[in-house]
Each structure stands twice: as structure tokens, then as C-alpha cells.
């Protein structure tokens, strides 16, 4: 495929190949943890690709051994709750929610917490065989705060979602496929090729029709989703304000088990 251009941000890379936009999360030393800078850059990148009439579909993947391990816990621990509520990651989730073009998430490794929430905010998910998926926030004394309790439940059902959220365990790509959480699992070394192959097939359709079809399917999905997201956001902030959350995140940074009161 002919590469039209490559643009480097600090935390992400954008590449446009013919009519496909590829975004790579690029904090591999931090397992592509989502910090405030990455949020800002992803919003800018999505704006750019949405306004680029040559681009009909977008792929999001990660550099290194993770798609994304979730939110940057160190940054979250050091940021006042008021600032998280005012600034936070909401601009990214709102942008993904309103993004008109199809997005494929190509999961190249660890996909946890906010990383899985990012994947679930996309339209199609392809996973490498080595990928691990889950919502481990409860191990930090918090809960998913960007759609994890709502989109996961709507995708895999209440009981599987409840187990994943309450245990915080990660599941294999094959398990995720069996749950209906990913569209298909492919060998690690062919992940991006398979994502591009699917993107090229979709991109043969009319751009306006793709956008209308995406909107229609999304409406069936999220007619009542916003109410659940509002509840989740409230409870996330409540959990984040507790001493258990502070201890859980501090223990994560210090690479030890959290010392929670019974």
C-alpha cells in the first residue's frame, strides 16, 4: 500500500496508507498507558483523520508488547480529583463516541482497564493470539470509569462481565473471542496485515454509507448507554476519592500488594 504520510506526536504516531488511517499508541516503555498528553493527542489525531476526506476508516493499535495497559496510574495518583473530573480523559471518550468513520482496534498485547475501554469504544476488534484482556481496576481499589462496566456488560452479558470486573482477572484472546468480545483472533505476526485487509474491504464501500451504517448500528447499541455511563462516572469518582484507591495505586507504583483495611 502507498503511504501518503506519517506524523509523529509525542505519545502516538499517525500513518495514512491510501484511504486507511493508522494510529499507533507509542509509549511502549509504559505499556502505552493513557496519560493526559495521549488523550489530547488522540483527540487531535481523530479530528485530523475525521476531517481528511481521503480517509474512510481508521485502525488503532499499539507499539511494543501492549495495546494499552490502561490509565497512567502514577499520573492519576498525583493529579487532584478535581482536576481529573474537570480535565481527565472524557474528551477522548466523547470524541470516540461521536467519530463518524469506522474504527478497528487491533490488539497487539496487553489490553487492560482503559485500554480495553478504548478498544470497546471502537467498532470492530481484532486480537493477536498473545493478547490479554480485562478490567483490573478493582485491584487498585477503583472501578472502570470509561465504559468498562457498561460496554463490557452489553457485550458479554451480566454474569461474565460481573466476574471480570469483580475479580480483575485478564482473559486470553481466545476466551475473549468465545465471549464475543473480539471479532477474531489472528497470529501475532499478521495482526496489522489482517486489520488492514479488513479495513481495505470496508473501504470499498461508499464513505457516506459507511458513516450512516455505523450511526444506525451504534444507535441500537447505545440508546440507553448514556444513563449507565453517567452512573459509572459518578461511582468511579466516588471510588477514586477513597483511601483504598490511594493505597491501591500507591502499592502499584511501589510494586507491592496493597494494604487495605478489612
The DSSP code for 190 is: G
137 part of the active site: yes
- Phi and psi torsions of 126, nearest 5°: -115, 135
Map grid coordinates 478535581 to a residue.
Answer: 82
Q: Return all residues near 192 (Cβ < 8 A) that are at least 6 apart.
A: 22, 59, 61, 106, 108
45, 88, 113, 117: which is the annotated catalytic residue?
Answer: 117
114 part of the active site: yes
For residues 215 and 211, what is the distance between their CA atoms, to the nearest angstrom?
6
H or E segment and range at residue 25 = strand 20-25
41, 113, 137, 177: which is the annotated catalytic residue?
Answer: 137
71, 119, 128, 195: which is the annotated catalytic residue?
Answer: 71
DSSP-based three-state secondary structure for 170: strand
71 part of the active site: yes
Antiparallel, parallel or unpaired: β 132-134 and 170-172: antiparallel
88, 114, 141, 148: which is the annotated catalytic residue?
Answer: 114
Helix then strand then coil, % of the chain, to nearest 5: 50, 20, 30
How many other C-beta atoms can be found within 10 angstroms of the C-beta atom of residue 6?
A: 12
Antiparallel, parallel or unpaired: β 110-112 and 66-68: parallel
The DSSP code for 28 is: G
* 3-state per-residue secondary structure call for 53-70: CCCCEEEEEECCCEEECC
Beta bridge partners of 58: 21, 103
Q: C-alpha cell of 207?
A: 464513505
**Hey, which bits of 103-191 come out as E strands?**
103-107, 110-112, 124-128, 132-134, 170-172, 184-186
Known catalytic residues are 71, 114, 117, 137
Amino acid at each position: 500500500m502507498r503511504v501518503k504520510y506519517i506524523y509523529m506526536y509525542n505519545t502516538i504516531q499517525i500513518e495514512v496508507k491510501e484511504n486507511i488511517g493508522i494510529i499507533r499508541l507509542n509509549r511502549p516503555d509504559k505499556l502505552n498507558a493513557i496519560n493526559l498528553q495521549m488523550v489530547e493527542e488522540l483527540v487531535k489525531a481523530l479530528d485530523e483523520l475525521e476531517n481528511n476526506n481521503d480517509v474512510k476508516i481508521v485502525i488503532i493499535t499499539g507499539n511494543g508488547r501492549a495495546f494499552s495497559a490502561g490509565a497512567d496510574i502514577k499520573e492519576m495518583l498525583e493529579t487532584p480529583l478535581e482536576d481529573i473530573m474537570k480535565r481527565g480523559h472524557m474528551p477522548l471518550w466523547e470524541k470516540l463516541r461521536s467519530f463518524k468513520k469506522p474504527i478497528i482496534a487491533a490488539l497487539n498485547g496487553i489490553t487492560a482497564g482503559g485500554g480495553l475501554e478504548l478498544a470497546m469504544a471502537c467498532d470492530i476488534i481484532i486480537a493477536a493470539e498473545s493478547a490479554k484482556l480485562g478490567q483490573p481496576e478493582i485491584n487498585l481499589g477503583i472501578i472502570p470509569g470509561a465504559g468498562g462496566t457498561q460496554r463490557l456488560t452489553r457485550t458479554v452479558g451480566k454474569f461474565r462481565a460481573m466476574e471480570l470486573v469483580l475479580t480483575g482477572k485478564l482473559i486470553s484472546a481466545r476466551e475473549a473471542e468465545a465471549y464475543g468480545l473480539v471479532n477474531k483472533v489472528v497470529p501475532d505476526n499478521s495482526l496489522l496485515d489482517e486489520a488492514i485487509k479488513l479495513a481495505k474491504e470496508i473501504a470499498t464501500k461508499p464513505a457516506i454509507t459507511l458513516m450512516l451504517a455505523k450511526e444506525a448500528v451504534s444507535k441500537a447499541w447505545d440508546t440507553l448507554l448514556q444513563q449507565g455511563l453517567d452512573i459509572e462516572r459518578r461511582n468511579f469518582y466516588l471510588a477514586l476519592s477513597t483511601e483504598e484507591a490511594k493505597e491501591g495505586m500507591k502499592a502499584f507504583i511501589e510494586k507491592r500488594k496493597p494494604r487495605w483495611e478489612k
